[in-house]
């Protein structure tokens, strides 16, 4: 929708029709079809429409007229309702789903391609190679197709579950916007915005629609990187700076972020008609990179598939080079193909993708109940590997509900428990003191970005709602307790404003006396009787960090009244001493200052919203008068102490990264348990700049289960210290257990994250403000608070919607997911891989019959083992899970040599030996001794097909039942079954029964007996394997006992 199109479609007859309705017709005519990206002509038209947008070229007065809106009153309620029904919700239509592509991904994802290829080989082995065609080969081919179909269904279910979780992000993170309607500021959902709405833009806000800026502070900047890729923020202006709608700086585009400053803008486009919406209809999203967990799963599958391929190739070579020539009647080509298929399919942990799906579904359900939103479900596992947690202070560790606790004029502290409206009675000259104290409240009220909600004027001060951040809200409430803030704001007209940000660390406001007050009160507070002030002069008020503003101050207000006195070194020392005293108590200390600027110092023709004017005001911000100090308290969140204790107990280094004063940061850190001993904390001066890097020992975390842990080393460094770091000092810093980073900038937060990442640390960053967004994005796991800024939530991988303590739940389940998947792999490998390979190898090398049929191998992999494997995904955390060190992602893999040793060298050997002994014992009882079979290579005159089929079923049932012992032992890594009882997982027993029922189902039903050549078995072959399983469990319990008893012994080093 463009202004040119509006002008072209307005006829003289329509002159009496409200502009609102003339705009309506144009919107309907130019609305784009959501599917336009598939049509080249429509795509070109959309690009042309973007270039034709001209909202930025008209004057603000024309803008207000076209959209029928007042910049001060906004839209009225009926207007907003009509426009909402006309234009629809302010949301972008979702892209159409490519169902064919999804179905192909579901079908061939995971092991799909391999299963399909194996099935085709079995069909070929049946016909035309089969002579005669064997029904068992046909059955094997059909079974593989059924498995492929089941995997496709699970892939589709996983995709649906993930999509449902991800689509709930917008509902879980409602983004409200402050707009002006009916002459009052209201908070409305961004979806309710309509063209013509006047939106109040604040720092950290995500722009909800395309806005034409009508007001902006000199420091108002927008990050357009999401659209343009440019990392540098763009300054905002009211006037056009470029003919191109996408390049001009007086348009705030939807999806961009306000990184500093503030302003107001009028909505000109919403939903699909925004630039962001138009681009979204022309592009499709690309898939993201693999997460840590996905890479680990891929590594496991690739490794095992490689082993299977090597074994299969070895079998083919062995057959071609030896068996085919020496024993031509032993194995024919169809049997060779089925053997190869059995090895490949049997070797793969087919149940692993299904187990992964179930694990993620369980994690998603559990975390959603604890108000934890993961933008990617796999990010939970990354959190489980985190060993460094950097946390912002305000709003993350603290409640972000500040109140003014201390106030001082010069070095005189004022008692806030008394009547604050008459603090001057404590001085010898009350009138003169009252004049100076009035400045304290006036500056606090004028230099403030917060505002009282219009509808709550009659409520008591303590409960009145304030729109603004916690710091400004606390100071505004304090200012109101001294004198009505509204009177101060009415007396002064804002000319220029610079909002507080983490770089400058101060807020500035330039004001001019309101014309209505020139006659009534030409010297309203904070102007004093001793000021050289005329009605045309300017008032500069400043509020910010003491160390930033003190160098710009030259005077300090006298608490007893009268003119200010010089800020000499001795005077400054007394003020700094008071500041340090408050900071040591955990107070956030701010300075209130002011200055009168003569009208001759500011040119009359200066453009108030230009960067040049902002530079001029910044240059004039010197020789300030310190009006007073305020100390604010932001109490810790109730669960922070326990959360820090659990995180540190889990082997995670918990650091504080804040913009606050070092003493304040250390005091809060000590209260939270992040700093153990404040009296022994180190400083930048303790880092030796000349210490050779090779002499710096690497960081070694405290040993697990150490009865005499070493003392923790703590240090506090500031942003200014970081600018002086040498490489050696940085290496020394990274060896500390407890670190407080104070007075840091956003760039330094990114530097901190990357410094630890380069030292092989997995770093999580928590924060809630716009100054945290960059570090949240570069961290391995960015964690934002649900109450934080839009920018922070956008950059984070995980959002804590409720309590910060829920990070403990996410941490626990991150480790649990990895542990349970490791247990699943260990359970699947002995019977589903090693014990299936042994019969084939023994058959090839010793010439005995293959004592486990190919179909039985497939049944174990895709049927009997699935339910127990899934039950392991439902395991509850073992006690001590959060007392272990985080895993090293470079050395600790899902499947490593220790797990292979346990799976093949211990469990696999026991299961295969027991199963073979049972099968050959059965044949011995049937009159077929082992001596008649070994080294005969197909010449087994005493062996009948029926005896072989039943012996193969004996092997099959022995494996299935012995897997019960494997399941009960594998579910605990170190704890005894009596410490972590099966009662904690009620899925275990049903899963064990299910596996046996499935085995019976395939072995006793006549249809499967004829098709799969399965058979029932004697009763003793049910109970003897149970005894074998119990022995297996006992042996593993014995191993765990010695591991627990001697955690540094040989068995402990070999333990998986």
- Distance, in Å, from the CA atom of 776 to the CA atom of 783, rounded to the nearest integer, reads 7
Strands (E), 182-318: 184-189, 198-201, 210-216, 221-223, 234-235, 251-252, 257-260, 263-269
DSSP assignments along 994-1051, one per residue: HHHHHHHHHHHSHHHHHHH------THHHHHHHHHHHHHHHHHHHHHHHHHH-TTSHH
Three-state secondary-structure class, residue 384: helix
H helix or E strand, kind and range, residue 407: strand 403-409
Q: Beta strands 781-785 and 798-800: pairing type?
A: parallel
In the structure encoding, which two tokens stand for residue 755, read together?
Answer: 């410094």
CA angle 401, 405, 410 (to 5 degrees): 135
- Distance, in Å, from the CA atom of 669 to the CA atom of 683, rounded to the nearest integer, reads 15
- Distance, in Å, from the CA atom of 750 to the CA atom of 777, rounded to the nearest integer, reads 9
- Distance, in Å, from the CA atom of 608 to the CA atom of 587, rounded to the nearest integer, reads 36
Three-state secondary-structure class, residue 537: coil
Contacts of 941 (CB under 8 A, 6+ apart): 932
Contacts of 1031 (CB under 8 A, 6+ apart): 965
Q: What's the length of the chain?
A: 1056
Cα–Cα nearest to 731, from 683, 697, 681: 697
DSSP assignments along 746-782, one per residue: HHHHHHHHHHHHTTT--EEEEE-SGGGHHHHHHSSEE
Contact call for residues 258 and 222 (beta carbons, < 8 A): yes
Helical segments of 414-508, H only: 430-446, 470-482, 485-491
DSSP-derived letter for residue 852 is S
Catalytic, out of 210, 223, 272, 392: 392
Contact call for residues 265 and 252 (beta carbons, < 8 A): yes
In angstroms, what CA-CA distances link 550 with 497, 499, 506, 544, 627? Answer: 20, 18, 11, 10, 12
C-alpha neighbours within 13 Å on the C-beta side of residue 793: 21
Three-state secondary-structure class, residue 701: coil
Helical segments of 451-527, H only: 470-482, 485-491, 515-520
Residue 75 phi/psi, 5° resolution? -80, 155
Cα–Cα nearest to 389, from 847, 961, 775: 775
In the structure encoding, which two tokens stand for residue 40, read together?
Answer: 């080249």
- Distance, in Å, from the CA atom of 348 to the CA atom of 111, rounded to the nearest integer, reads 9
Give all strands of the β-sheet with 781-785 in edge-to-edge order. 372-374, 798-800, 781-785, 763-767, 388-391, 653-657, 738-742, 714-718
Task: Classify each residue of 602-618 as buried b or exposed e, where b means 16 or more C-beta atoms within 10 Å of its C-beta.
Answer: beeeeeebbeebbebbe
Active site residue 392: yes
The number of beta carbons lying within 10 Å of the beta carbon of residue 857 is 28
- Distance, in Å, from the CA atom of 788 to the CA atom of 807, rounded to the nearest integer, reads 16
- Distance, in Å, from the CA atom of 125 to the CA atom of 131, rounded to the nearest integer, reads 9
Three-state secondary-structure class, residue 737: coil
The number of beta carbons lying within 10 Å of the beta carbon of residue 575 is 20
Contact call for residues 846 and 935 (beta carbons, < 8 A): yes
**Residues annotated as catalytic (active site), given as ranges:** 392
């Amino acid at each position: 929708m463009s202004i040119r199109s509006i002008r072209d479609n307005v006829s003289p007859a329509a002159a009496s029709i409200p502009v609102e309705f003339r705009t309506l017709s144009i919107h309907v005519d130019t609305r784009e079809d959501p599917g336009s990206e598939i049509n080249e002509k429509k795509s070109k038209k959309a690009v042309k429409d973007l270039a034709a947008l001209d909202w930025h070229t008209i004057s603000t007065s024309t803008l207000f007229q076209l959209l029928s809106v007042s910049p001060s009153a906004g839209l009225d309620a009926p207007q907003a309702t009509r426009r909402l029904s006309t234009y629809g919700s302010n949301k972008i239509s979702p892209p159409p789903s490519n169902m064919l592509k999804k179905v192909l991904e579901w079908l061939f994802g995971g092991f799909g391609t391999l299963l399909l290829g194996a099935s085709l080989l079995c069909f070929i082995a049946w016909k035309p190679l089969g002579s005669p065609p064997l029904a068992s080969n046909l059955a094997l081919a059909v079974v593989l197709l059924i498995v492929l179909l089941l995997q496709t269904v699970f892939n589709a279910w996983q995709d649906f579950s993930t999509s449902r979780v991800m689509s709930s992000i917008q509902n879980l993170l409602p983004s409200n916007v402050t707009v002006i309607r009916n002459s009052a500021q209201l908070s409305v959902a961004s979806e309710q915005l309509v063209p013509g709405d006047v939106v109040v833009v604040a720092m950290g806000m995500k722009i909800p629609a395309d806005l034409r800026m009508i007001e902006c502070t000199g420091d108002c900047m927008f990050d357009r990187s999401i659209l343009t890729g440019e990392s540098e923020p763009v300054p905002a202006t009211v006037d056009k700076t470029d003919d191109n709608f996408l390049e001009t700086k007086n348009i705030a585009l939807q999806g961009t972020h306000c990184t500093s400053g503030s302003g107001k803008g009028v909505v000109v486009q919403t939903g699909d008609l925004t630039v962001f919406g138009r681009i979204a209809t022309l592009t499709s999203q690309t898939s993201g990179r693999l997460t840590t967990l996905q890479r680990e799963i891929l590594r496991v599958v690739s490794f095992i598939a490689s082993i299977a391929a090597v074994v299969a190739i070895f079998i083919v070579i062995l057959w071609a080079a030896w068996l085919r020539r020496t024993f031509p009647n032993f194995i024919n080509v169809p049997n060779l193909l089925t053997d190869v298929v059995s090895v490949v399919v049997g070797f793969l942990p087919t149940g692993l993708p299904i187990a992964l799906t179930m694990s993620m579904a369980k994690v998603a359900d559990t975390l959603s109940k604890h108000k934890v939103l993961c933008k990617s479900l796999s990010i939970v596992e990354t959190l489980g590997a985190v060993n460094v947690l950097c946390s912002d202070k305000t709003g993350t560790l603290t409640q972000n509900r500040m109140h003014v606790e201390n106030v001082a004029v010069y070095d005189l502290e004022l008692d806030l428990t008394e009547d604050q409206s008459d603090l001057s009675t404590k001085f010898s000259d009350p009138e003169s003191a009252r004049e100076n104290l009035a400045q304290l409240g006036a500056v606090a009220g004028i230099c403030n970005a917060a505002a009282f909600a219009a509808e709550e004027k009659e409520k008591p001060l303590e409960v009145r709602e304030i729109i603004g951040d916690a710091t400004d809200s606390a100071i505004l409430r304090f200012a109101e307790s001294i004198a009505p803030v509204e009177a101060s704001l009415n007396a002064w007209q804002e000319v220029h404003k610079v909002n507080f940000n983490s770089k400058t660390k101060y807020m500035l406001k330039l004001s001019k006396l309101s014309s209505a007050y020139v006659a009534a009160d030409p010297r309203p507070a904070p102007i004093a009787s001793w000021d050289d002030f005329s009605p045309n002069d300017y008032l500069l008020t400043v509020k910010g960090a003491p160390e930033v503003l003190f160098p710009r101050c030259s005077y300090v207000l006298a608490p007893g009244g009268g003119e200010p006195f010089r800020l000499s070194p001795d005077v400054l020392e007394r003020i700094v001493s008071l500041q340090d005293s408050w900071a040591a108590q955990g107070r956030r200390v701010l300075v209130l200052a002011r200055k009168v600027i003569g009208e001759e110092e500011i040119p009359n023709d200066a453009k108030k919203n230009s960067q040049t004017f902002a530079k001029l005001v910044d240059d004039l911000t010197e020789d300030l008068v310190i009006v007073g100090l305020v100390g604010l308290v932001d109490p810790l969140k109730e669960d922070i102490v326990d959360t820090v204790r659990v995180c540190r107990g889990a082997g995670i280094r918990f650091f504080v990264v804040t913009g606050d004063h070092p003493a304040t940061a250390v005091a809060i850190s000590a209260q939270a348990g992040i700093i153990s001993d404040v009296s022994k904390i180190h400083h930048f001066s303790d880092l030796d700049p000349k210490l050779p890097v090779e002499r710096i020992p690497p960081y070694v975390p405290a040993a697990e289960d150490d009865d005499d842990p070493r003392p923790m080393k703590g240090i506090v460094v500031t942003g200014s210290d970081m600018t002086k770091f040498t490489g050696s000092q940085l290496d020394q810093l990274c060896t500390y257990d407890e670190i407080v980073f104070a007075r840091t900038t956003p760039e330094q937060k990114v530097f901190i994250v990357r410094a630890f990442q380069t030292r092989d640390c997995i770093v999580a960053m928590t924060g809630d403000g716009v100054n945290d967004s960059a570090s949240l994005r570069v961290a391995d796991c960015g964690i934002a608070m649900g109450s934080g800024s839009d920018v922070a939530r956008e950059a984070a991988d995980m959002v804590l919607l409720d309590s910060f303590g829920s990070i403990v739940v996410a941490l626990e389940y991150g480790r649990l997911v990895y542990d349970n998947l490791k247990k699943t792999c260990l359970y699947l490998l002995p019977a589903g891989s090693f014990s299936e390979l042994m019969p084939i190898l023994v058959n090839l090398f010793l010439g005995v019959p293959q004592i486990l049929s190919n179909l039985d191998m497939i049944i174990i992999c895709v049927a009997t083992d699935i339910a127990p494997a899934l039950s392991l995904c439902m395991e509850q955390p073992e006690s001590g899970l959060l007392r272990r060190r985080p895993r090293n992602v470079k050395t600790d893999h899902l499947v490593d040599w220790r797990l292979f040793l346990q799976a093949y060298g211990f469990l696999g050997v026991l299961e295969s030996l027991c199963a073979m002994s049972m099968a050959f014992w059965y044949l011995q009882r049937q009159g077929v001794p082992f001596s008649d079979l070994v080294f005969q290579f197909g010449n087994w005159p005493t062996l009948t097909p029926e005896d072989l089929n039943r012996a193969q079923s004996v092997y099959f049932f022995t494996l299935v039942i012995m897997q019960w012992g494997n399941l009960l032992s594998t579910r605990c890594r170190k704890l005894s079954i009596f410490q972590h009882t099966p009662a904690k997982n009620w899925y275990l027993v049903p899963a064990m029964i299910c596996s046996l029922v499935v085995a019976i189902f395939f072995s006793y039903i006549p249809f499967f007996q004829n098709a799969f050549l399965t058979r029932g078995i004697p009763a003793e072959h049910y109970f003897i394997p149970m005894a074998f399983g119990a022995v297996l469990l006992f042996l593993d319990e014995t191993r765990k006992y010695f591991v627990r008893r001697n955690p540094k012994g040989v068995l402990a080093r070999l333990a998986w």
